[in-house]
Structure 1
Amino acid sequence: MHFSVKSGSPEKQRSACIVVGIFEPRRFSSIAKQLDKISKGYISALLRRGELEGKVGQTLFLHHVPNVLSERILLIGCGKERELDERKYKQIIHETINSLNNTGSMEAICFLTELHVKGRNTYWKVRQAVETAQDSLYTFNQFKSNKKELRRPLRKIVFNLSTRSELISGERAIQHGLAIATGIKAAKDLSNMPPNICNSAYLASHARLLANSYSNNTTIMVFGEKEMKELGMNAYLAVGQGSTNESLMSVIEYHGNPDREARPIVLVGKGLTFDSGGISIKPSDNMNEMKYDMCGAATVYGVMCVALALNLPLNIIGVLAGCENMVDGHSLRPGDILTTLSGQTVEVLNTDAEGRLVLCDTLTYVERFNPEIVIDIATLTGACIIALGHHLTGLMSNQNQLSNELRSAAEQAGDRVWPLPLVDEFQEQLESHFADMTNLGGRPGGAITAGCFLSRFAQKYHWAHLDIAGTAWNSGKTKGATGRPVAMLSQFLLNRSAFSCDESIDK
């Protein structure tokens, strides 16, 4: 879909539709008030008859309003004016896009970016509108034989801004919003793919295509089982040894910093393309959703798409740790002891605590890049869902400044995280009678003990761990990947790039 910005009076707009807000109870936004004056009270007369109360998400289409050049006006409920926050704003945009798309409005001029959202500026409102619009229109129907296609889908949105001085900021917001929305879509598409298609080789092929599209400053290396065995990545390989699909680790190196020797930011994504649980097999209910155990790798792929599209002035390395946890005679067993790439030994108590075994060798491998920071992203523990539900991503880090940067980026992007403590008492739960540690710390504090396990392999650099088990996908009627936390990590990189030092901070 095409997005643009302009500045102009509502009475001079000639379009298929104008979108304006109505507050509860039946109160006009400033633009709606202008349109009502132009139409000589036509809109207020309708509201007095109870046509629209103004509750969040309510809609009312008006056709051929007197003295208005546009064919239609869409009134959208915005709730109580003083209570309009980030969440409600995105809900309003979502309902607006669905209403326009489902009623044949192929283009519209949107005045909702002129609403006052506490603490947010024009850049934020336009960018969030773009991201929300693209998310609202997302579908994954590659495998449907009968695809439902709208005859007149929404194709163009123009955001009207209060002053011409805001146009540059608005244009930059569209550029960033489209790049991030494209990255989120890429992550969703990968995650939603069925596991008989999306295996480690499929992840590697997408990594190659991405790197080859930006070959001037991007390279790709794919490590197979032979290469990983030579390196000593025994924990990683043990997880995939029960699968007929080869374990492959894809490493994308992007050199955007003018100083090619500048230390890189490394993103590591858990890419379990299907997780049966291994010998410690999972319950059968909802096991189909274990194709989403590669959402960490999909996130890294999506963020790399954003960084390359925006040509960010950073050196970034994205690692897709592809693997499949299956059951056969070669499978990893409870009781096995593994020697990791770091030389530390791990007693396997549960083969369904496999993601940390893949990640621990990957975290050791990336030491060779002398990284400035390392962030791993993983659908790691059900315990994180118990702690934070499906609303917040769990955050653990060995450096407060990095943790604070990620939390700030999460608030800016509306893709929230919550910090969990990595303290010595949890480390004690990983003690083993026979090895340096176990791969399971028990039920109490399960998300934290998983983070503690990873922290033992991240002591040579500043590191953060994002547990996205509760936020990476939805179940039920809205089943599908969410694309989180692509937006948050993209904002983190934008902040690091100093692209957003003025307009994109959360003002």
Structure 2
Amino acid sequence: MNFELKTLSLSAAARHKCDLLAVLIPQDFAGQDGAIGTLAAQALQAGDLQDKPGKLLRLYASPGVAARHLVLVSCGDGSPGDVRKAVLALAPALKSPGVQRAVLAFAAAPAAGAVAAALRSAADAAYVYAATKSKVEESGPESCLLGVPSAAGVQAEFDAARAVAAGVEFAREWANRPANHATPTLLGEAAKSLSKDKAIRCTVRGPEEVAKLGMGAFMAVAQGSVEPLRFIELQYQGAAKGQAPVVLVGKGITFDTGGISLKPAPEMDEMKFDMGGAASVLGVFRALAELKPAINVIGLIPACENMPDGRALKPGDVVTSMSGQTIEVLNTDAEGRLVLCDALTYAARFKPVAIVDIATLTGACVIALGGLRSGLFSTSDELAAQLLGAGDAALDPCWRMPLDDEYGEGLKSNFADVANVGGRPAGAVTAAKFLQRFVGNTPWAHLDIAGTAWKSGTAKGATGRPVGLLLRWLAERAAGSADSGQQTAAARRRAAKG
């Protein structure tokens, strides 16, 4: 969907010809002159439009309004969170037959972050998966105009939000594709497509190159599938070459049967979403191409299938990771940590300032946090605080979980340096403790997105999380580096004058 920003009063919005005009009405709306302002004030006073975020009043062919359909929607106190609830409630209206041109107008000046929330929520609400359908029964509008009392003050916010929405959509699209349409090879092609931008480089390695790197854990997971593995490396350079990068590592299991430790049949189709971490890394780089932040970012994606054929990894097997540590595989369905550990070891060669891995890693995290917040584990209080703040600001929240040393006791093995599982209690924590063994002293965070990367049931589909969180964090780091550089330059000038 194409987005546009324009200065638009309610009177001007009433004259704007479109298929759908949705007006965001704050709870303290006092009314304005003109058809829409009068209608909204009367509806609020009569109780026909409740002031709870997301409550709607749909009207057709309203006098004095050029749009065929008019929807008044309450946006609560106008905060980004309430605006998001309001716009998501518009999803059925946005997908109504015949709606090609939509206008989303703010009845009052938007709060900081509200325009971004509106744009991203409209993109989420209007998204329709179509890649493997012969006929699409519903579709979102081709264009959406965001109308605000004054566009100049929110142009930068709008531009950034549009880039983030594109990244989220790219992640959703690839996570939603069936496993036979999103193989490791095809993920590699998707990554290569991003390198059309001059700031992004892409390298895709196959089995022979991965073997030379010594990624024995990653290779062990892939050996049961006829689909060849791919190790994808993306590089975005937005700062000086000498500036240490941030490394993002995304789990890329394009389908997870559980291997020999076979999963139950019900809902196994959803294991196509097990590359949600990889999809989020692709989405981040899709957005970086537009945002152009002054930061260097490396993206690493170990991509393969976890299948149960005669060559497959067996419970009790011992494999040697790239780090040299040996791993006893007690459960082949705990494969994500095996592919990630080699990618985390590889990440060290970039001497990064921070490493963040993103993975649909454990059902235990779903039990702990449900589908609202992603699980956050980190060896750095500073990094954890940054990610928590970025998640809240991006309306893509996470929650910090513990990493006490005692949790690692359950990973002891009689036959290897470490076991790949530690039992049912605190399963999300022991998985993170396993990964921690492979990051050294580099500030590291692990985002377990098993509960947030997709939805089940009638709303089944990828969410694109945590692309918003990651992009907000990267933007804030880039801004912090720029501020630090300016302060250093100013100090040097003062010293020179002295």
1:112 aligns with 2:112: no
Aligned Cα RMSD in Å? 2.6
Aligned residue type for 1:132:
S
Matching residue of 1:223:
205
The CA distance in 2 between the partners of 1:193 and 1:392, in whole Å, is: 24
Q: 1:2: Cα distance to partner? A: 3.5
**SS of aligned partner of 1:385:** helix
Q: State which of 475, 482, 485 in structure 1 corresponds to 2:466.
A: 485
C-alpha distance in structure 1 between counterparts of 2:237 and 2:40, whole Å:
55
CA distance in 2, matches of 1:366, 1:22: 48
In the alignment, which residue of structure 2 is the partner of 1:20? 23
**Identity score, percent:** 40
CA distance in 2: counterparts of 1:43 and 1:313, whole angstroms: 44
CA distance in 2, matches of 1:22, 1:302: 32
1:248 aligns with 2:230: yes
What SS does the corresponding residue of 2:179 show, helix, strand or coil? coil
**What is the distance in 2 between the residues matched to 1:37 and 1:78?**
14
User: Which residue in the other structure is 1:505 paired with?
Assistant: none
| Matching residue of 1:156 | 144
Distance, in Å, in 2 between the alignment partners of 1:294 and 1:21 is 36
> Any residues of structure 2 matched to 1:278-357 within 5 Å, and which?
278-357=259-338
Residue 100 to residue 297, structure 1, CA distance change in 2 (3 Å): closer
Q: TM-score, normalised by structure 1?
A: 0.88
Residues 262 and 315, structure 1, Cα contact 8 Å, conserved in 2: yes
- 1:104–1:154: 8 Å Cα contact kept in structure 2? no
The secondary structure found in structure 2 opposite 1:148 is coil
Q: Quick one: which of 84, 89, 102 aligns to 1:90?
A: 84
Gapped regions of structure 2 (runs ≥ 5): 484-498
Show the counterpart of 2:4: 4
Q: Distance in 2 between matches of 1:179 and 1:430?
A: 42
| Unaligned ranges ≥5, structure 1 | 503-507
TM-score with structure 2 length normalisation?
0.89
Q: Which amino acid aligns with 2:207?
A: E
Deviation at 1:146, TM superposition (A): 2.4
Aligned residue number for residue 29 of structure 1 = 29
- Supply the AA of the counterpart residue of 1:401: E
Describe the superposition over 1:159-187 as per-residue Cα deviations: whole angstroms up to 9, x where unpaired: 213xx4xx334211221111111111111
Shift of 1:21: 4.3
Which among 200, 204, 210 is matched to residue 184 of structure 2? Answer: 200
Which one is further off, 8-17 or 453-462?
8-17
**Structure 2 counterpart of 1:498, which letter?**
A
1:199, distance to aligned residue in structure 2 (A): 1.1
Q: Is the 8 A contact 1:294 1:379 kept in 2?
A: yes
The one-letter code of the counterpart of 1:196 is: N
Judged with a 3 Å threshold, the aligned counterparts in structure 2 of structure 1 residues 433 and 113 are, in CA distance, closer, same or farther, namely farther
Is it true that 1:237 corresponds to 2:219 in the alignment? yes
Please give the alpha-carbon distance, in whole angstroms, between the structure 2 residues aligned to 1:43 and 1:277: 54
Q: What corresponds to 1:179 in structure 2?
A: 163
The answer to whether the Cα contact below 8 Å between 1:367 and 1:460 also exists between their aligned partners in 2 is no
Pair 1:250–1:76, CA change in 2 (3 A): same
- 2:175 matched to which residue of 1? 191
Instruction: Give the 3-state SS of the residue equivalent to 2:371 in structure 1.
Output: coil
Task: Provide the aligned length of Structure 1 versus Structure 2.
Answer: 480
- Contact kept in structure 2, 1:12 and 1:69, CA below 8 Å: no
The 3 A distance-change label for structure 1 pair 101 and 33 is farther
CA gap of 1:501–1:173, structure 2 versus 1, over 3 A, is farther
Instruction: Give the conservation status (yes or no) of the 8 Å contact 2:229–2:305.
Output: yes
- 3-state SS of the aligned residue for 2:90? helix
CA distance in 2, matches of 1:37, 1:382: 48
1:202 CA displacement: 0.7
Pair 1:458–1:276, CA change in 2 (3 A): same
Kept after mapping to 2: 8 A contact 1:220/1:253: yes
**CA, structure 1 residues 62+325, in 2 after alignment: closer, same or farther (shift >3 Å)?**
closer
Q: Equivalent residue for 1:210? A: 194
Matched residue SS, 1:156: strand
